[in-house]
C-alpha cells in the first residue's frame, strides 16, 4: 500500500513554515489514483499556503507497479546495500531501478509501462545523439534534452530537442536488442543494487569500452 507523512517545511520563497504531505511509498496497483500524479511529477510539486508559490520537493520515494513488475526508487543519492530487500523481488520477476531526478522517474515509468527495455532506450538515445551530430543537424551544446517518446510495432521513437526546434529518430527495437545481445558483458547490470540507468550510465559504458573509464 501507499504511505505518506506530514512534515514541517519552510517555503524557499517567503520563509514561512507550514505542513506538507509527502509520499514515501506509492503502490499504483493498489492506489491507481496516484499514478497520474507520479507520471506528471505532480506528486513532488507543492504550493505554499502563505505566498502561493509553487515548488518541488524531491523526497525519496519508492514506486511499485505490481502489474508491470517494476519498482523505482527515487533518490538523488546512491543507495546502500539492498540485496536482502532486492533478491526476493528479483525472484518474483521485478525490475529494480533508481532514478536520480523527477524527469528520469517520469520517463522510466513510461518506458516500463510500454514494455520497453530501459537499457535499450538509453542505447537508442546515445545512437540518436551520435546520428544527430554526424548528420550535422546541430552541435552537442545545442541539445537541451534527449527524450524517449514511445515504443510501438517494433519501433522506438526518440526526440532530440533544442531551444527552438527538435528532431525525431525512429529506431527498430529488434536492432537494439541484437546489439545488446551481441555485447552482453558490456551492458551487464545488477538489479540487486537498484542501478541508475540514465545518460550518465550509458556514457560510462562506452567510456569503459574505449578504455577511458
Structure confidence at residue 78 as a pLDDT band (50, 70, 90) = confident
Q: What is the mean pLDDT of the chain?
A: 95
Structure confidence at residue 212 as a pLDDT band (50, 70, 90) = low
The whole-number pLDDT of residue 136 equals 83
Give the residues across from 105 on adjacent strands.
Answer: none
Mean pLDDT over 145-162 rounds to 96
φ, ψ of residue 153 to 5 degrees: the values are 50, 50
Task: Read off the pLDDT of residues 134-153 as tens digits, 9 standing for 90 and up.
Answer: 988 888 999 999 999 999 99
Full-model pTM: 0.93
Lowest mean pLDDT among 65-79, 101-115, 129-143: 129-143
Mean pLDDT over 185-194 rounds to 93
Which sequence spans correspond to the domains of the chain? Answer: 3-113, 118-189+196-209
Residue 158 makes CB contacts below 8 A (sequence gap 6+) with: 121, 124, 125, 128, 146, 147, 148, 149, 168, 169, 171
Amino acid at each position: 500500500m501507499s504511505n505518506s507523512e506530514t512534515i514541517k517545511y519552510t517555503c524557499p520563497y517567503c520563509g514561512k513554515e507550514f505542513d506538507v504531505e509527502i509520499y514515501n511509498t506509492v503502490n499504483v496497483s493498489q492506489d491507481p489514483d496516484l499514478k497520474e500524479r507520479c507520471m506528471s511529477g505532480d506528486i513532488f510539486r507543492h504550493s505554499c499556503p502563505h505566498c502561493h508559490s509553487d515548488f518541488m520537493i524531491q523526497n525519496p520515494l519508492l514506486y511499485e507497479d505490481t502489474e508491470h513488475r517494476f519498482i523505482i526508487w527515487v533518490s538523488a543519492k546512491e543507495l546502500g546495500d539492498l540485496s536482502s530487500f532486492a533478491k526476493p523481488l528479483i525472484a518474483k520477476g521485478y525490475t529494480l531501478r533508481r532514478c536520480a531526478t523527477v524527469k528520469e522517474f517520469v520517463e522510466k515509468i513510461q518506458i516500463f509501462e510500454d514494455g520497453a527495455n530501459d537499457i535499450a532506450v538509453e542505447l537508442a538515445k546515445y545512437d540518436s545523439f551520435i546520428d544527430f551530430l554526424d548528420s550535422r543537424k546541430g552541435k552537442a551544446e545545442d541539445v537541451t534534452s534527449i527524450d524517449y517518446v514511445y515504443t510501438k510495432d517494433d519501433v522506438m521513437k526518440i526526440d532530440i530537442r533544442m531551444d527552438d526546434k527538435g528532431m525525431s529518430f525512429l529506431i527498430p527495437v529488434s536492432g537494439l536488442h541484437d546489439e545488446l545481445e551481441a555485447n552482453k558483458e558490456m551492458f551487464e547490470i545488477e538489479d540487486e543494487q537498484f542501478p541508475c540507468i540514465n545518460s550518465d550510465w550509458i556514457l560510462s559504458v562506452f567510456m569503459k569500452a574505449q578504455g577511458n573509464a
